[in-house]
Structure 1
Amino acid sequence: MLEVFRQGPQTEVSQTTEGLQFCVKAKYLSPQAADDADSMGIACAFAAVIGSGFLGYQMGELNLLVGGLFAGGVFGRPLMQMSFRESAAKTATVYFTEKAIYLERKKGQLRLDRNHRHRFVMYEHPQAVIERDKIEIAKAKGKTNWVRYYSDSFVVALEYLGQRYNIAEVMNRHDAEMIIARFNLCDEYLDDLANSRKTNPLNPQDEWHDPAGGLPH
């Protein structure tokens, strides 16, 4: 079973008072966080270039320090943005037991009975259409310096008895699909486990059935 969890979202397996438990810790980057991280990278790169000019002026010469700072600002922006994106990533934690699903929320855990109707789904981000329209307008004007944030982002959610519980805003369809697949795998495995216990006897006495008309014990 553990082989299945080697790739994709981090998944821990343990035993609790409610039986077998899966803890899925899905790391993801939201489109807003990615946008903010990229803006921070641009700001830092710009500051490095300006800082190198100011430092060179104060020192009255161009040396390795000034040159390195300038080069970092000019060529280091992608690395800065990547670093900021990595630090901006969040983790969605969901617990699965044979009896319940636990969603980690800001105000604590939300417990939902697994016996009730539910399913994990992904919706297109509500700002996806707006961003696509803006990109089309930019293309029509001949602009090429745009980045997709929301148009390839999805909201991973749990639908439970007609209610929708948003779990994560995920930038990148593949990442969202990986999270959904892991949630469904854990959920379906526990369903199969519960069904097998209903059909398979737990002890020798469960295999014995009194004949019709037999004497009571």
Structure 2
Amino acid sequence: MRKLLFTSLAAAGALALPAAAQAQDTTKADITIGASVGMHDLGVDLGDFDADDGEFDDFDIDDTAEIYGVFAAADVPLGESLFAGVEGNFHFGSGPIESEYGVAGRLGFRTEGGSKIYARGGYQWVDLDLGNLTGVDEDFLDENDIDVMDVGGDYLVGVGVEVPVSSVVLRANVDTIAFDTLRGTVGVGIKF
């Protein structure tokens, strides 16, 4: 139900964005393309699992990964300081994350100096590497045809800030996927 609600809200925002942009005669899209790095804590919870009672004494969950990749964002003004936009990202990961990618809508305000402070919401997909996540030997996984696990996707919500320095933009974001993970990224981009 939550997925349907967030997907509906994202679709409504996507439909409203072009109408708002068209209403502005002097609207110029603010486009930024760049690179980002960060940490993604998957928040793996073993619940009541007790390694001492089972045969998994050496079961080691490594649920934090460094991520590095690219992003692209486009924003349009909705007035003096308010803006709305959309952004996409693709990241490779280390450790338990093979890759992740997603799209999000942005809504925020621009300060007099040009900095942007925004909230964002969208959808993020994460592909996991089970060997790195669990510490299980890769030969065992290969013998049993267990490979990268596509976790699928879920809604993403977060906040961010972008600070312009000439035509370069420095940015930082903190996000969560379905309130199960914590993801922080920093990046540098070029404005077009």
TM-score, normalised by the number of residues in structure 2: 0.25
Which structure has greater helix proportion? Answer: 1
TM-score (norm: length of structure 1): 0.23
Larger radius of gyration: 1
